[in-house]
Amino acid sequence: MKHPKHNYFIECTFRYSPYLIIELILTYILASVIVKGNAVIGASIDTMLSGGHVEFKEFIRYFLILTAVGFIAGFFKSAAASKFSIKVQTLYKKLVANKLYKLEYRYFDENGSATVINKMNSDIAEAATLLNESIPYIGANIVGSVVYAVYVGQLNIRLLILMLFCYPALLFISKKIREKVVELKNIHRQKADAIMEITQDAMAGILVLRSFGAEEYFQGKMNRVADELVEYEEKRVRISNTVLIVRKFLQWLPNIICALYAYTLVMRGSLSVGEMLTFLIVLGRFIEAFISIPFDLVDAREYVVCVGRIENILREADEPSGKEKEGISSEDAVSFNNVSFEYNEGTNVLDDLSFHIPVGSSAAFVGGSGGGKSTIFHLICGFYRPSSGNYSLFGREFKEWDVEAARAKMALVSQNVFLFPDTIYENVRYGRLDATREEIIEACKNARIHDFIMGLPKGYETEVGERGILLSGGERQRISIARAFLKDAPLLLLDEPTSAVDVPTEKLIQEAVDKLSKNKTCIIIAHRLSTVMGVDKIMVLKDGCIRESGSHEELLKKGGIYAAMYGKEEEK
Amino acid sequence: MTMWKLFVRTMKVMGKRCIIYLAAILFMSAGFAMFSVMESILMKNIVDAAQTGDSKHMAVSIIGNIIGAAISLLVYRAAAIIYNVEAKRAYAVLAKQLFHHEVRLPYTYYEEHHSGDVLSKIAYDMDRTSAIYGSRFRRTVSPLIQVTVFVIPMLILSWQITLCLVGVNVLMLLINALMIKPMRNNAKQLSAVNVKLTEKLSNLLQGMEQARMYTAGKHTIKEFEEQNIFYEKKNNRKILYTGFLESCNNGFDLLCSLAFLMLGVYFIQSGYTTLGSLAAIYSLYGKFSSQFLMLGMYLPELIGCLANAQNVFEFMDEVEEPEAWYGEGGGSLEAESSFDSPYISMKDVTFHYSEDKPLLRDYNFSVEEGESVAVTGPSGCGKTTLSKLLLSLYPVMGGDIIFAGDSYRTLSNKQIRSKIAYVPQEPYLFNYSVKENIRIGRTDASDEEIVEAAKMANAHEFILQLENGYDTSVGERGNRLSGGQRQRIAIARAILKNAPLLLMDEATSALDNESEQLVNDALKSMKNNKTVVMIAHRQSTIDLADRIHSFE
């Protein structure tokens, strides 16, 4: 079920919003302290100018209090902002991780897991920036601007109106100018890329380049591009620096205007000199806070896009799951009744498939690639659901099963073994987390991998390295068999266990598989027919249908597809 | 290399222009700072005028200030343009030098290093090196220049107040400096945990099947959650540090105001300074302070980029292919052997890539002038090595190669390669027009000669049918053309070179029948007046040869 309206990010943010509110209150206090301090300066200057005497002791005490408040408020303001950010992040990341575990398998067909990972990691980082920087900054700058503006308004309402008119106009001009500079930057990038392209081209064709002695010819091309880059740079910086100084000058104008206006107010007597000084100082603060708001908003908008992408994942449907945790006593471990399946609409991978695999028996699927063998496993594991027909596991329809409980009944040894970047020991232990060390070693012995592991310098504590690259295919395969041993589940699923390994390894794996499948229901997908000769029931799949089924001998007698396949393999 | 030497070398790339570059940085920073000084002086003038009520003077001085500010900005602009152009010029010089070097490494270098990896690494290092010219160095020295520019007028306005303010700033800088190390450590720890978090998520996705079928998934989630909470805890320390710094900044900000007020009022009362000066100092102080705290801040970044520059320089110091493998080269006239010996002969040549895999031992092979020889043999036996030795891409380890009476030991690599027109197995085309690709055969060839060569290579017809004929761009690696078309352009290139020996490495191995026929036709017409050595797989190509040399 999708949740289109839900916004998890806002929910998380809302949950920890008290921290944000504390931050904003403290920002308000800080800004007020600054305003108060400056007002005191202004007042004392006025006292002095009017010939009065400034009482230092009084002010020192007053200022020390303000300073102390500033220290404390500064600390807690920063702490509250950080706390807010980290709390939300932690919760949000937790949601994401749990979602990835439960997300429907289909999602990754459409998006590709590598893209999902890359996007997700960078998006999470951007979301963190939004929380760390954008939200607290924007909040603080808005509060600051308001406090300063209110103060100016109290001093003189006309000053406030002038101030509020000048800066938005300025912002508008700045924005227009900025767009132009960004455009120039893009062209510059293209020119720089040309240097890279020439180099790449020359290096890839180095054999031709060298055998024809064309070094100088290419150097000429390179020199031309490099010189063009310098020429263009001159054009670019002429414009961008002109823009820069014009902007700098324009930004200054409101200051002059406001200061001159304040001056006329003083001349008219509606503002004191001290107040004018305070105004000029607060004006500086106001500009600082006010001008950064639009820039922060632009940044924030980019981050919000990233958050939106994560939100889309969070809104995706979970794997469907029932509630039942046990099967119903039944003869069949797995039974398919008229099951059809399609990954994309209109292209049936499985077509009206029916078969029954009794408890304790063994079965195998053979046939060329694209016949639908792996899809059957995907359905049995519940990664995908049949488009029509039904599938029962231990007598109970799969939709009624609690997905985790159903999977606890199965041990899968898949074709592409993924080993987690951890020790061998841990990788085997994933089969059953409460297993003892003895049990783990026993499982490895059964999987014919114990001796190999003991031969490694660090034994069971060897790190398998990212994606298991340090181990060969056969070794990884056997580690995953050991994992299956440890799990000791009643239903065993083996996906081409001996493909892509050499003959001695194949033998080892075959031994392990034979041992593992004892007293279990076992389903095998196989490329090499040698793996399946002893199986009770072999099913030949082609174009999503079962074309033949029976034991090895029966099928040979029949002289159909299987017999032909067998003949071919014998030839080799 | 020490950092200083590295820095000097980086600057030396610019040659004498380095002085212009440095001067530009000085004027750029000073101009920028002067603008701020003018801003403050203007403020002073207005405040002073407000205090004294003198409006006549004010107008004059304000206009003066505005003009001064404008001049500062113009100086800044002029210097900034020079600075940026010089920085880019330095980058261009480096890029040219780098390219010069990149195409002259010994051939083994390209074989041993995956060219994409080397390129992307060096491109990254180059990027960071150019950042030294473009920003890092300026950012490091600019605060120093600006601080100097700010502090002078401040001292003039009131040295007493200025010294107090500078004192507070030094204190602040010290606190910041003290915090840098613990904060960096904390950041490192945090990013380490963050990497773990990311890794867990990746595992969950990459090992999705296993994660769901076994307890691994739940376990990973649990670990993720633990790390996630651990991250939050670790972050508490960061909160403490940044909170402390921020509270210091706010506190000192207020403290400065206090000092400012007290001293200011005191000095004004005593007549040491005016209210306007006070305002000017205060506004200059803000700018001074922000630059002051940046002192040294960008130094680590500069050092980081210098480390990248070091990689670039180390790469540039890699030994290039020598002019000649043996001794001087260049001398070609001492004919060792009499003229009745074969046109090309390999005498007792020994060569191998690694000690334990001998490839050629005392190998002999000869070709008569005007003869066409097909070299055949199973793959991996060293046929391609043979052509690379003929091209002198490697030196022979024993024996000698004689070409038209000259020993390879007396020739320069350039001389040797000028005698051979080579058509490689993979006919590499560069991402230029067809015409330019053929012209690589002989760069001073006229357009007519190029067309002539293309006709001989059976390429003229199809080239004319291309969108822009000879000016059609062939795309990256020539991917807009078919394999047969590429091969015929490669042959046209070889024809244009008009070298005495045509050397072909399985030129037809990857072609369909029709293209093969066209290529073979081209070969037929050429072999009449050239000596040809072709390494060949296909029977139809082998049939063209006068003689077959089978390779063991």
CB A273 to CB B418 under 8 A? no
B240 and A79 in contact by Cβ < 8 A? yes
Q: Is residue A566 one of the residues assigned to a domain?
A: yes
Look at residue A192 and tell me if it is in a domain. yes
Q: What's the N-to-C CA distance of chain A in angstroms?
A: 51
Higher per-residue confidence, A312 vs A500:
A312
Question: Considering only CB atoms, which chain B residues are within 8 Å of A34?
Answer: 253-254
Per-residue pLDDT tens listing for chain B (552 residues): 688 999 999 999 999 999 999 999 999 999 999 999 999 999 889 988 888 877 788 888 899 999 999 999 999 999 999 999 999 999 999 999 999 998 898 888 887 776 667 777 888 899 889 999 988 999 999 999 999 999 999 998 888 888 888 888 888 888 888 888 888 888 888 888 888 888 888 787 777 777 888 777 888 888 889 989 999 998 888 888 888 888 887 777 777 766 776 677 777 777 777 888 888 888 888 888 888 878 877 888 898 899 999 999 999 998 888 888 876 554 444 444 445 567 888 888 888 877 777 778 888 888 888 888 988 877 666 777 888 889 888 888 888 888 888 888 888 888 889 889 998 877 888 988 999 999 998 888 999 999 999 998 888 988 998 888 999 988 887 888 887 888 889 989 998 988 889 998 877 766 666 777 888 888 887 777 788 998 887 777 788 888 888 876
User: How far apart (Å, rounded) are the C-alpha atoms in residues A527 and A111?
Assistant: 29
Name the residue range of residue A184's domain.
157-270
Q: Between these two residues, B43 and A502, which has the higher pLDDT value? A: B43
Nearest Cβ partner of A204 from B47, B115, B209? B115
A-B C-beta contacts closer than 8 Å: 338
Domain limits, chain B? 1-155+296-321, 159-272, 344-550
Q: What confidence score (pLDDT) does residue A437 get?
A: 92
Q: Residue A112: what pLDDT?
A: 65
- Which three-class secondary structure string do you get for B249-305? HHHHHHHHHHHHHHHHHHHHHHCCCCHHHHHHHHHHHHHHHHHHCCCCCCHHHHHHH
Q: State whether B215 and A38 contact (CB < 8 Å).
A: no
Order the strands of the B420-423 sheet from edge to edge.
B420-423, B501-505, B531-535, B372-376, B547-550
pLDDT recorded at residue B333: 44
Structure tokens of B72? 């500062």
Report the chain B residue with the minimal C-alpha distance to residue A206: B103
Q: What is the pTM of this model?
A: 0.72
- State whether A146 and A164 are in the same domain: no
Q: What is the pLDDT of residue B332?
A: 44
Q: What average pLDDT score do residues A232-244 get? A: 86
Buried b (16+ CB within 10 A) or exposed e, B114-141: ebeebbeebbebbebbbbbbbbbbbbbb
**Residue A522 maps to a domain:** yes
Inspect the interface and report whether the beta carbons of A273 and B50 lie closer than 8 Å: yes
* Residues A143 and A161 grouped into a single domain: no
For B268, half-sphere exposure in the C-beta direction (CA atoms, 13 angstrom radius) is 24
Asked whether residue A139 carries a pLDDT value surpassing 60, the answer given is yes
Per the domain annotation, does A548 fall within a domain?
yes
Q: Do the domain assignments include residue A281? A: no
Q: What does the alpha-carbon distance between residue A308 and residue A301 come to, in Å, rounded to a whole number?
A: 10
CA-nearest residue to B263 within chain A is A56
Neighbours of A3 (CB within 10 A): 13
CB contact under 8 A, A245 and B76: yes
CA–CA distances in Å: residue B286 to residues A242, B291, B508: 26, 9, 75
Q: Tell me, what's the pLDDT at A565?
A: 81
Bigger pLDDT: A531 vs A240: A240
Q: For A199, which residue in chain B has the nearest alpha carbon?
A: B99
Do A402 and A472 lie in one domain? The reply is yes
User: Which superfamily does CATH assign the domain made up of B344-550 to?
Assistant: P-loop containing nucleotide triphosphate hydrolases (3.40.50.300)
- pLDDT value, residue B334: 45
What is the number of domains present in chain A? 3
Q: Are residues A142 and A162 in the same domain?
A: no
Residue of chain B with shortest Cα separation from A74? B247
Same domain? For A114 and A166 the reply is no
Is pLDDT at A528 greater than 70 in this prediction?
yes
Tell which B residues from 322 to 351 touch A, by Cβ distance under 8 Å: none
CA B183, CA A82: separation in Å to the nearest integer? 15
On whether any CB of chain B is under 8 Å from the CB of A5, the answer is no
More confident residue, B342 or A92: A92
The pLDDT tens digits of the residues spanning A169-183 come to 777 776 776 676 666
Residue A278 domain flag: no
B443 contacts A121? CB cut-off 8 A: no
Q: Do B69 and A59 touch (CB under 8 A)?
A: no
A292 pLDDT more than 60: yes
Best of B82, B102, B161, B209 to substitute, by most chain A Cβ atoms within 10 angstroms, is B209
Query: Residue A190: is it exposed, middle or buried by C-beta count within 10 angstroms (0-12/13-18/19+)?
Result: exposed
| A79 and A218 share one domain | no
Average per-residue pLDDT for chain A: 83
Sign (positive or negative) of CA dihedral A495, A501, A504, A505: negative
Nearest beta carbon to residue B250 from set A30, A117, A244: A30
Report the SS3 class of residue B502: strand
Chain A residues whose beta carbon lies within 8 Å of the beta carbon of residue B197? 93
Is the pLDDT at A468 greater than 50? The verdict is no
Smallest Cα distance from B315 to chain A, Å: 15
Give the per-residue pLDDT at A160. 87
Provide the residue type at B117 as one letter.
D
Q: Does A252 touch chain B (CB under 8 A)?
A: yes
Chain A partners within 8 Å of B104 (Cβ): 215
Residue type, A94: K
CB-CB under 8 Å, B210 with A480: yes
* Nearest CB to A229; choose among B92, B250, B477: B92
Interface test with A, best of B32, B186, B203, B261 (most A CBs within 10 A): B261
Q: Do A228 and A373 fall within a single domain?
A: no
CA distances in angstroms from B375 to A246, B399, B516, B544, listed in the order given: 72, 20, 18, 12
* Contact residues, chain A, for B242 at CB < 8 Å: 78, 82
A-chain residues near B62 (CB < 8 A): 256
Q: How far is the C-alpha of B435 from the C-alpha of B454, rounded, in Å? A: 9
Instruction: Answer yes or no: do A361 and A447 share one domain.
Output: yes
Say yes or no for a CB contact (<8 Å) between B102 and A203.
Answer: yes
A405 touches chain B (CB under 8 A): no
Q: Determine whether the interchain pair A280/B215 forms a contact, defined as Cβ–Cβ distance below 8 Å.
A: no
CB atoms A117 and B206 under 8 Å: yes
Residue A342 lies in a domain: yes
Asked if residue A327 is part of any domain, the answer here is: no
The answer for residues whose C-beta is within 8 angstroms of residue A87's C-beta and 6 or more apart is: A16, A19, B232
Contact B88 A229 (CB under 8 A): yes
pLDDT digits (tens, 9 = 90+) for A37-87: 888 878 888 887 777 777 777 777 887 888 888 889 989 998 999 999 999
How much of chain A exceeds pLDDT 90, in percent?
A: 12
